[in-house]
């Protein structure tokens, strides 16, 4: 059951983007599993992708196509990752682009392919032959909600968000969807994210923004520490609103970036809230670090600890597990007497040892919450980083033990 998760249904259409959804039968019958996104001519598109060396065929092809031409179509299938499939997998990814290109009158390099699902199985090409015409037949600006469901795998709920704001006298809209629930760790995770705005954003700015926005959202979440083969995130700017972002230092740029950041983080946190078997949504904040990398090393070591995650699930305030994780994070020349650790406002470690004011009942009350924050102060500098994670439950093991059955 997702943690404090409300399904978003007030999607705002983005002028210049239409979506079509179909039941293609990629892996399962009678469910939406193929999404086509049509992007208007003149829009700018940027992307960030997994750093897994075994990245999926569609990831490699998508990166190539982004370098070759302005994208006009996005093609997404669920149920099969087309990863670990060798040369035949790459050929199938190319074939899927050719199918959509032929049906829409564009060149194959104008199509960006995305896949998610089981690794190591051949892609069902007959499903694309069936599904592409069906998806094109229902292209609509209002299909964001259905598309959010159409890209789900082990997700229990669809993930999406829309917002709008006034910039330079114009109304600007942002709408996005994401998917992911397991094999989630940054760089990026088994996740897909598609965020579109009707603002114009210069190409020289867009790619840098996409990376920055991913780094403070999708690259700050972890479910289980596994970096997937298929992670992808697109930022699309159609330029239809009248707002033009050409100076990154302008007030308009600052306002739009802030609004985009809120959307990216909302979509990323939704993935954690719907983590496989999750019952707790936990923020890990590291403060007073000497460097950003140091802060992240500590945060991820705590967030990835199975002992910490299972204690969270059990509502067991076994804070020694947190202390041990901080100690093995690789920080050099640690002055332990400077370390302070809190769970919400309850201090559990003071000057490197058990806080004299700490009582087990106070810690247990925090761990029993569905949401709480672990704050670790290192006493080494002024750098702060935070990430979002969840607990490990019996259900997590069940879901992944039965994933291919």
Sequence ranges of the chain with CATH classification 3.60.70.12 = 17-273
Superfamily of domain 281-401: ArgJ beta chain, C-terminal domain (3.10.20.340)
* pLDDT attached to residue 187: 38
**Domain 17-273 listed as CATH 3.60.70.12:** yes
Q: Which residues pair with 17 in a beta bridge?
A: 39
Q: Give the whole-angstrom CA distance, residue 191 versus residue 234.
A: 11
* pLDDT attached to residue 123: 94
pLDDT tens-digit readout, 252-309:
999 999 999 999 999 999 989 987 778 999 999 999 999 999 999 999 999 999 899 9
Q: Give the whole-angstrom CA distance, residue 22 versus residue 172.
A: 29
- Burial environment of residue 257 by CB neighbours within 10 A (0 to 12, 13 to 18, 19 or more): middle
CA 21 to the chain's CA centroid: 21
Report yes or no: 306 and 340 within 8 Å, Cβ to Cβ: no
Catalytic center residues: 190
Q: Give the whole-angstrom CA distance, residue 153 versus residue 117.
A: 6
What's the start-to-end Cα distance of the chain, in Å? 21
Instruction: Give me the tens of pLDDT residue by residue for the chain, a chain 405 residues long.
Output: 688 988 999 999 999 999 999 999 999 899 999 999 999 999 999 998 877 777 788 999 999 999 999 999 999 999 998 988 899 999 999 999 999 999 999 999 999 999 998 888 999 999 999 999 999 999 999 999 999 999 998 788 999 999 999 999 999 999 999 997 655 444 333 579 999 999 999 999 999 999 999 999 988 988 765 555 667 899 999 999 999 999 999 999 999 999 999 999 999 999 899 877 789 999 999 999 999 999 999 999 999 998 999 999 999 888 889 999 999 899 999 898 999 999 999 999 999 999 999 999 999 999 999 999 999 999 999 999 999 999 888 877 776 666 555
Print the SS3 string covering the chain.
CCCCCCCCCCCCCCCCEEEEEECCCCCCCCCCCEEEEEECCCCEEEEEECCCCCCCHHHHHHHHHHHHCCCCEEEEEEEECCCCCHHHHHHHHHHHHHHHHHHHCCCHHHEEEEEEEECCCCCCHHHHHHHHHHHHHCCECCCHHHHHHHCCCCCCCCEEEEEEEEECCEEEEEEEEEECCCCCCCCCCCCEEEEEECCEECHHHHHHHHHHHHHCCHHHECCCCCCCCCCEEEEEECCCCCCEECCCCCHHHHHHHHHHHHHHHHHHHHHHHCCCCCCCEEEEEEEEECCHHHHHHHHHHHHHCHHHHHHHHCCCCCCHHHHHHHHCCCCCCCCHHHCEEEECCEEEEECCEECCCCCHHHHHHHHCCCEEEEEEECCCCCEEEEEEEECCCHHHHHHHHCCCC
Q: Give the whole-angstrom CA distance, residue 198 versus residue 247.
A: 17
* pLDDT attached to residue 223: 76
Sequence ranges of the chain with CATH classification 3.10.20.340 = 281-401
* pLDDT attached to residue 224: 64
Q: Give the whole-angstrom CA distance, residue 271 versus residue 222.
A: 9
Beta-carbon contacts of 30 under 8 Å, excluding residues fewer than 6 positions away, are 23
* pLDDT attached to residue 393: 82
Q: Give the whole-angstrom CA distance, residue 96 versus residue 74.
A: 11
């Amino acid at each position: 059951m997702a943690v404090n998760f409300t399904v978003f249904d007030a999607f705002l259409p983005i002028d210049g983007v239409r979506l079509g959804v179909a039941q293609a039968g990629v892996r399962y019958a009678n469910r939406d599993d193929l999404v086509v996104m049509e992007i208007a001519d003149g829009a700018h598109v940027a992307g960030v992708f997994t750093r897994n060396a075994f990245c999926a065929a569609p990831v490699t092809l998508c990166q190539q196509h982004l370098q070759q031409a302005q994208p006009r179509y996005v093609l997404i299938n669920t149920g099969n990752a087309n990863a670990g499939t060798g040369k035949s997998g790459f050929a199938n990814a190319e074939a899927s682009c050719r199918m959509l290109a032929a049906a829409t009158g564009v060149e194959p390099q104008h199509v960006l392919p995305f896949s998610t699902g089981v690794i190591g199985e051949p892609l069902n090409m007959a499903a694309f032959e069936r599904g592409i015409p069906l998806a094109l037949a229902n292209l609509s600006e209002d299909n964001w909600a259905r598309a959010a469901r159409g890209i789900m795998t082990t997700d229990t709920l669809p993930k999406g968000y829309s917002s709008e704001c006034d910039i330079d006298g114009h109304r600007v809209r942002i709408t996005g969807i994401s998917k992911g629930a397991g094999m989630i760790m940054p760089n990026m995770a088994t996740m897909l994210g598609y965020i579109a705005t009707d603002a114009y954003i210069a190409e020289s700015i867009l790619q840098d923004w996409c990376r920055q926005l991913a780094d403070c959202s999708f690259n700050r979440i972890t479910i289980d520490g596994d970096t997937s083969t298929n992670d992808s995130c697109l930022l699309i700017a159609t330029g239809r609103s009248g707002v033009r972002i050409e100076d990154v230092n302008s007030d308009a740029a600052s306002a739009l970036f802030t609004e985009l950041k809120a959307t990216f983080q909302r979509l990323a946190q939704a993935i954690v809230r719907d983590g496989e078997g999750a019952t707790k949504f936990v923020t890990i904040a590291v403060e007073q670090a000497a460097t950003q990398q140091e802060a992240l090393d500590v945060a991820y070591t705590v967030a990835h600890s199975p002992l910490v995650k299972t204690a969270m699930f059990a509502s067991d305030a076994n804070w020694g597990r947190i202390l041990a994780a901080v100690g093995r994070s690789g920080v050099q020349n640690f002055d332990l007497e400077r370390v302070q650790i809190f769970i919400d406002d309850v201090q559990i470690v003071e000057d490197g040892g058990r806080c004299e004011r700490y009582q087990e009942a106070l810690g247990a009350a925090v761990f029993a919450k569905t949401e709480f924050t672990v704050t670790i102060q290192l006493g080494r500098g002024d750098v702060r980083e935070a990430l979002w994670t969840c607990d490990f439950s019996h259900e997590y093991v069940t879901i992944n033990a039965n994933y291919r059955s």
